Amino acid sequence: MAAMTGSAPPPASPLPPLLWDVFCHVVDNLGDLGVCWRFSADLAARGHQVRLWVDQPEPLWWMAPGALEGRHTGISVREWAPDLSQAFCDPLPPADVWVETFGSDPPTPVIEALAQRLASGQPPPVWINLEYLSAEPYVERCHRLASPVMSGPLKGLTKWFFYPGFTAATGGLLRESDLQGRQAAFDLREWQRRMKLSPSDARQVTLFCYEPPLLQSFLEQASSEDPTVQWLVTSGRPAEAFRLACERAGLKNRIHPVNLSALAQRDFDELLWASDLNLVRGEDSLVRALWAGQAFVWNIYPQHDNAHHAKLEAFLDWLDAPESLRRFHRMWNGLDGPTLPAQAWAGWAGWSVLEEWRSCAQAARARLLAQPDLTTRLLEFIAEKR
């Protein structure tokens, strides 16, 4: 496992400690909550105070143990209940910054409370619309653009688009200041013992996916190529997809997965560091796979109009992915048919293709490490707008 080296304190903030309201509406699969928690935790580590408003806070019991009990300094998790009027009539101190994530507009009581404060002469917060991650060209065009509020009690205020991304002209990616140090100190053998896995030099593959159409063919050919592989299967949809694929392929007695319980975010990071191949999904786990620096394949979130096809191709272009990795991504995501052609497996003898993919991931990680992280860029932007 090639780890990043070194560790550093959080970058010096261009701002004094601020109070933030972060709004998270959970759509599905919990990736939005994962991003919001990582972001909130990074702000808190830099001395800021965060109120994280979320409509489904329960997954934080396992995602961030202690979060719902108030054991994370600087973060207060508050439930996005149907009626927040009472909470905002306490009254709560006004926030310096609002962050609506992935289009989750602040609840009506929050809007009304701010309107009342503005009427009494209080200044408005800096209002950020934190958008979805993409490598498509529009991200650089739209990043940092103003979005005037045209109607309602807050008419006349301005939101600001802030786009995460992979280039210097975007908002960057979340990266905690202690990430490199934690990864450098990671001990694979100790992790295997802690996870109750037999210490082994066998290939380890993490499966964190939706329902990739290629999964059955992949398991059939991979198990034939190397029956010693340890399959580390995450809970929920990945576990069910794995079970069905094995059942249909008649692999129930030939392949023995390690079925993992739901993992806290830092434990999930370690899982990706430990594996030779990470099959990940969504946005948060894609970023964590990039930081892991191991071979990975991205199961992109499917959209009904196939808009994810262009999004995937844009990412592969930025990644400078070799042809073998491009081809496998397209098949894994159903762009090139539901089965794995024999010729697509030709380069896998001895899993040698993984070294090419790993080198690609590490080169991409090096480019990203040369750029500021998302929180640092956002703090600089807010300093400009206050």
The residue extents of the domains of the chain are 19-172+372-385, 180-369
Rama region for 136: left / alpha / beta (φ>0; ψ in -120 to 50; rest): beta
- Asked if 74 contacts 48 with a C-beta cutoff of 8 angstroms, the reply is yes
Q: What is the pLDDT of residue 345?
A: 52
How far is residue 14's CA from residue 48's CA, in Å, rounded to a whole number?
Answer: 12
How far is residue 201's CA from residue 183's CA, in Å, rounded to a whole number?
Answer: 19
How are beta strands 204-207 and 230-233 bridged, if at all?
A: parallel
Q: What is the pLDDT of residue 341?
A: 62
Structure tokens at 351: 């899993």
Q: What is the pLDDT of residue 89?
A: 53
Structure tokens at 170: 């975007």
Helix (H, G, I), strand (E, B) or coil at 125: coil
Say what the pTM is: 0.92
Q: What is the pLDDT of residue 167?
A: 98
| DSSP element (H, E) containing 204 | strand 204-207
Active-site pick, 21, 32, 96, 100:
32
CATH topology of domain 19-172+372-385: Rossmann fold (3.40.50)
DSSP summary character for residue 348: G
Q: What is the pLDDT of residue 304?
A: 81
Concerning whether 32 is annotated as a catalytic residue, the answer is yes
Q: What is the pLDDT of residue 105?
A: 85
Q: What is the pLDDT of residue 8?
A: 57
How far is residue 325's CA from residue 360's CA, in Å, rounded to a whole number?
Answer: 9
Q: What is the pLDDT of residue 6?
A: 46
How far is residue 156's CA from residue 103's CA, in Å, rounded to a whole number?
Answer: 19
- Report the chain's mean pLDDT, rounded to a whole number: 89
CATH topology of domain 180-369: Rossmann fold (3.40.50)
Contact residues for 344 (Cβ-Cβ < 8 A; gap 6+): 327, 328, 331
Q: What is the pLDDT of residue 2?
A: 46
Active-site pick, 131, 220, 283, 373:
283
Q: What is the pLDDT of residue 344?
A: 54
Identity at 129, one-letter amino acid code: N
Phi, psi (deg, nearest 5) at residue 379? -60, -40
How far is residue 245's CA from residue 325's CA, in Å, rounded to a whole number?
Answer: 22
Q: What is the pLDDT of residue 349?
A: 58
Which of these, 316, 296, 291, lies nearest to 371 by C-alpha position? 291
How far is residue 357's CA from residue 360's CA, in Å, rounded to a whole number?
Answer: 5
State the maximum Cα–Cα separation within the chain, in Å, rounded to a whole number. 71
β partners of residue 281: 299
How far is residue 314's CA from residue 323's CA, in Å, rounded to a whole number?
Answer: 14
Three-point CA angle 34, 37, 39, nearest 5°: 105
Q: What is the edge-to-edge ordering of all strands in the sheet holding 49-54? A: 75-79, 49-54, 19-24, 97-101, 126-130, 158-162, 146-148
- Asked if 203 contacts 351 with a C-beta cutoff of 8 angstroms, the reply is yes
Concerning whether 323 is annotated as a catalytic residue, the answer is no
Domain 19-172+372-385 and domain 180-369 have a common topology: yes
Which of these, 284, 279, 306, lies nearest to 294 by C-alpha position? 279
Q: What is the pLDDT of residue 82?
A: 57
Q: Which residues of the chain have pLDDT under 50?
A: 1-3, 5-7
Structure tokens at 325: 């990795």
